[in-house]
């Protein structure tokens, strides 16, 4: 039984890192006329009301998108991200937050395709109501995203982005992620893969970056953002990471310039920090 609901965490610091990078990846794909495919293996509900009981219970968006909403000094990557969120909030009041499918759909052109997977029954119904009536361009599945990658890769155009961000509430999510990527890279080695993960005290979380590097991709980027130091008890998520396989060549320089600014903007204590490493051969 899946219990994780992203509606409790929508717009938090992890979403800011994930979605600001996602906007950059989508813009890069759109620079060429040739079609691309987006696969979102754990799409969630797609859109989130920030005045809902779930969002208000923890109020995590206030420490994430809420800290950027009224800033007038946003650097370019973050300005592009916030502009996308503003497009969903037409009156200028921060009332709703987009999930990854919304950002992706905004980038689609007539020739592009998007495939969304979500197993949580309630979130699937919401996702399907937003994105399921768009014909062949967007398909929504109440199915296992990991298990369906083989059937979708490589895309006919040989251009695509696969976004993988499970809840990691199940221990096997970590091992299934690594196996799915091994299989995907064999089928589609030139594809772009964006993996989000939480920074937690559990061993599986700490080992994941090393396992991702060991996959042998010749071109990768790894960025992390922690908004506070780890709790002495080892509870909670103090930060998150994004691991990109075959990233745009400009992304490392962009993050090098903007991650320090973002860390300062979202910092909750003196333990806030960021890391950035990349390899290209």
Token match 């689609």: residue? 108
Residue 93's Cα: distance from chain center in Å?
A: 23
Establish whether 173 is a catalytic residue. no
Strand (E) or helix (H) holding 116:
strand 113-117
Q: How far is CA 113 from the centre of its chain?
A: 18
| Catalytic residue (one of 165, 173, 183, 269) | 165
138-141 and 160-164: which strand pairing? unpaired
Structure tokens at 203: 């061993």
Helix (H) or strand (E) holding 173: helix 172-187
Q: How many residues comprise the chain?
A: 281
HSE-CB of 105 using CA atoms within 13 angstroms = 23
Q: Give kind and range of the element (H or E) at residue 243.
A: strand 239-245
Provide the 10 A C-beta neighbour count for residue 248: 16
For the annotated catalytic residues, the residue numbers are 165
């Amino acid at each position: 039984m899946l219990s994780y609901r992203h509606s409790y965490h929508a717009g938090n610091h992890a979403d800011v890192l994930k979605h600001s990078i996602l906007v950059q990846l989508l813009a890069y794909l759109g620079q060429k006329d040739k079609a691309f495919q987006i696969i979102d293996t754990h799409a969630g509900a797609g859109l989130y009301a920030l005045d809902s009981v779930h969002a208000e219970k923890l109020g995590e968006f206030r420490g994430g998108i809420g800290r950027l909403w009224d800033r007038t000094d946003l650097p370019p990557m973050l300005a592009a991200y916030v502009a996308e969120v503003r497009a969903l909030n037409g009156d200028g009041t921060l009332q709703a937050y987009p999930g990854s499918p919304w950002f992706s759909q905004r980038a689609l052109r007539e020739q592009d395709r998007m495939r969304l997977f979500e197993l949580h029954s309630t979130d699937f119904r919401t996702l399907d109501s937003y994105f399921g009536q768009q014909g062949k361009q967007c398909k929504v599945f109440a199915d296992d995203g990991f298990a369906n990658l083989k059937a979708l890769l490589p895309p006919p155009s040989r251009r695509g982005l696969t976004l993988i961000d499970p809840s990691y509430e199940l221990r096997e999510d970590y091992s299934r992620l690594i196996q799915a990527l091994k299989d995907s890279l064999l089928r589609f080695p030139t594809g772009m893969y964006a993996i989000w993960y939480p920074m937690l005290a559990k061993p599986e979380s700490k080992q994941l970056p090393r396992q991702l590097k060991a996959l042998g991709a010749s071109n990768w980027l790894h960025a992390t953002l922690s908004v506070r130091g780890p709790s002495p008890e080892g509870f909670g998520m103090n930060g998150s990471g994004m691991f990109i396989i075959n990233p745009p060549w400009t992304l490392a320089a962009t993050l090098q310039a903007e991650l320090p600014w973002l860390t300062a903007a979202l910092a909750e204590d003196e333990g806030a920090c960021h890391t950035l490493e990349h390899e290209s051969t």
